[in-house]
Amino acid sequence: MGRRTVVIGLVGTKLDIGGKRRWDRWRPTVSLCQHEDLVVDRLELLASRSSGRLVAQLAQDIRRVSPETEVRPHRVEFDDPWDFAEVYGTLHDFARGYSFREDSEDYLVHMTTGTHVAQICLFLLTESRHFPARLIQSSPPIEEDSAGRYAVIDLDLSRYDRLAERFAAEKRSAVSFLKAGIETRNAAFNHLMEEIEVVALHSPEPLLLTGATGVGKTNLARRIYELKSQRRLVTGAFVEVNCATLRGDAAMSALFGHKKGAFTGAVSDRTGLLGTAHEGLLFLDEIANLGLDEQAMLLRALEEKTFLPVGSDQPVRSDFGLIAGTNENLDVAVAEGRFREDLLARLDTWSFRVPSLKDRREDLEPNLTYELSRWTERTGRRVSFNKEARRRFLEFAMAPDSPWHGNFRDLNAAVLRMATFAAGGRIQEAHVAAEIQRLKSRWQGRRPRSQSSARVEAVLGKDAGSDLDRFVAVQLEDVLAVCEEARSLSEAGRRLFAASREKKRSSNDADRLAKYLAKFDLTFSVVQERLRQHLATP
């Protein structure tokens, strides 16, 4: 015995109505049993007590057109057939109580009869598999003697080739948008963009973008926002800030706002970045530089969507999305006590590492083309390579010993320089040779941070720095690196003397650091000021 076909549907109190001239009209429930290519073995008719006579008439007429069809009436009552909660609940109870035999029966849910509310509820219950069925929709005849038409709708949309291709094309378009339209060739990077596309469109949770400086985290965050905005997932603004620029007491005010009079200089209310990002997206770049107090308030704002502006006891609500960026290992920052473990756990739900340019050398050529097109957009001048110049630059760029320390910032600057000097809009071999030499010289002069004495020279001067023993210079360089990133003398001391504090051998980390700096005639504020001046010097 083959599989049986069972149709479940509501009685149409208007469309299915009988009468002496009922055979002159199209009746959807009866018409389902009149098709030669659709054999209905059993019809489960859902109706109220008041529709008893109509159900009996339908059963009689169905036996006339399809003697093999078994008609089973079921009583369902809606006090208000337009009340969504009541209708959904009643149909849900019916589905839960029905004995489905999926091993031997195929089920169709008839969508044509009943109120619009009932039709929506039947759709939802079928989509959620409470009815393990496909949908069937009937429609009036085109020809006078026809039983009408019907269409079976499978909610597995992947079975519809044209729909599947449309969804695939939409996905390809979204991924291409995240890549700025660049036809990248690196398989790992392309897979990363596909994952980010899915998360950006289907999860409201924070995203964490990691990777070296210059890999494009800021541009990617902006494109994620624009993609969300296109799909109406966000309606507010894109707000970005580099947390390394948030220093001291001003950080709290910048992030969370303040009330007028909260502190000296607070002459008016300030909304703050979190408030500005309401119903939009906040991008916190270099989040490892955020102070511990600000981290605690950010965590609360993420979890509760509320925060307290400086000087206010009234919470402010902001339903903002968050993308965080960093070039640091946040697990190390947690171990060193400068990043909250609970905040990292909140950010780490969706963490994506954006690879460096040197790790995707096959993408250098399409990115070179992209940078040239950006130059044209900015300047209105069209510039291109001659054939040999392009070959030579790509040969150098894709070589294993080209480190691309600055990633896309280095590539963008290289294209800008060559295009600027390209007379007549053509980059020649001489331009490429000069740029290769410049990049090589720059990269060779860049030593790893652990071996560098740049901070020592910046703070003490080149001559004084060169007079130090190597042992002292290396130690001082590390101390200055911590002072550069820390927000206060106390925070720097906690990081530098963490092991001593753990063993309770030190009670005043700030005092120990101040005495160490005094050996070089330095204070914490002088160190930070000189390092800021050094970073600002081109």
CATH number, domain at 102? 3.40.50.10770
**pLDDT for 474:** 86
Dist CA 153 CA 512 (whole Å): 75
> Same domain for 91 and 208?
no
Q: Is residue 352 within 8 Å of residue 313, measured between CB atoms? A: no
Residues 203 and 150 in one domain: no
| Helices marked H in 28-181 | 28-31, 52-65, 84-97, 116-127, 161-178
Task: Give pLDDT < 70 ranges for the chain.
Answer: 1, 144-146, 156-168, 262, 445-452, 462-463, 465-467, 502-507, 535-538
- 80 and 121 in one domain? yes
Shared domain for 495 and 531, answered yes or no, is yes
Say how far apart CA 72 and CA 246 lie, in whole Å: 72
Residue 83's SS3 state is coil
Q: Is residue 160 part of a domain?
A: no
Backbone phi, psi, residue 395, to 5°? -60, -45
Same domain for 426 and 280, yes or no, is no
Task: State the pLDDT at residue 450.
Answer: 40
Q: CA 287 to CA 246: how far, in whole Å?
A: 10
Residues 230 and 324 placed together within one structural domain of the fold: yes
Counting the structural domains of the chain, the total is: 4
Claim to verify: residue 324 and residue 461 sit in the same structural domain: no
Q: Are 426 and 468 in a shared domain?
A: no
Question: Of 444, 473, 494, which residue sits at a domain end?
Answer: 444
Please work out, in degrees rounded to the nearest 5, the angle formed at the alpha carbon of residue 229 by the alpha carbons of 228 and 233: 60
Does 126 map to a domain? yes
Domain-terminating residue out of 155, 181, 203: 155
C-beta atoms surrounding 413 within 10 Å: 16
Instruction: Say which residue the tokens 């059963």 belong to.
Output: 59
Do 151 and 175 lie in a common domain?
A: no
pLDDT for res 276: 94
Which residues, at least 6 apart from 441, have a Cβ–Cβ distance to it below 8 Å?
none
In a domain, 387, yes or no: yes
Do 333 and 373 belong together in one domain? no
Sheet of strand 42-47, all strands in order from the earlier edge strand to the far edge? 70-75, 42-47, 4-10, 105-110, 134-139, 149-153
**pLDDT value at position 449?**
42
Q: Amino acid identity, residue 272? A: G
H helices of 305-386, where?
330-335, 341-347, 364-379
Residue 508 identity (one-letter amino acid): N
| Domain interval for residue 24 | 4-155
The residue among 196, 255, 190 whose CA lies nearest residue 228 is: 196
CB atoms closer than 10 angstroms to residue 359: 16
Does the CA dihedral 282-288-293-296 come out positive or negative? positive
- Residue 235 has a CB neighbour count (10 Å cut-off) of 10
With H, G, I as helix, E, B as strand and everything else as coil, classify residue 285.
strand
CA distance 486 to 72: 76
CB–CB of 412/364 below 8 Å?
Answer: no
Amino acid identity, position 531? L
- From residue 244, alpha-carbon distances to 434, 455, 484, 532 in Å are 34, 17, 10, 11
DSSP bridge partners of 153: 135
Beta strands in 388-432 (DSSP E): 426-427
> Where a domain ends, among 444, 472, 506?
444
Give yes or no for a contact between 253 and 261, defined as CB atoms under 8 angstroms apart: no
**13 — phi, psi (to 5°)?**
-65, -15
Task: Categorise residue 312: left if φ over 0, alpha if ψ from -120 to 50, beta otherwise.
Answer: beta
Identity of the amino acid at 333: A
> Is 253 in the same domain as 374?
no
pTM of structure: 0.62
Query: Do 349 and 383 fall into the same domain?
Result: no
